Amino acid sequence: THQDVFGAVADADFTVAEAAEYLEVSVPTFRRYVQSKRITPKHIVGRNQFFATTELKSFKRSLRAVKGH
């Protein structure tokens, strides 16, 4: 389950790849979410973007609502 995989990182920041995996979408799809400002990075270091766990959880709930889960 996601809790098994991601439970230990409750307050950690996610990279793009980690965030995409958490949301169960592809990296290109996740990048489109960022580009359209549906989700924003918590901070940027160089070319690397990092995303807050709390925002990802909230966004995932909104995705589930749209999908009807």
User: Tokens 């799809």 label which residue?
Assistant: 29
**Type of residue at 50:** F
Tell me if 14 sits within 8 A of 51, measured CB to CB.
yes
pTM value? Answer: 0.77
Start-to-end CA span in the chain (Å): 16
| Pairwise pLDDT comparison (62 vs 67), residue with the higher score | 62
**Model pLDDT, residue 50:** 96
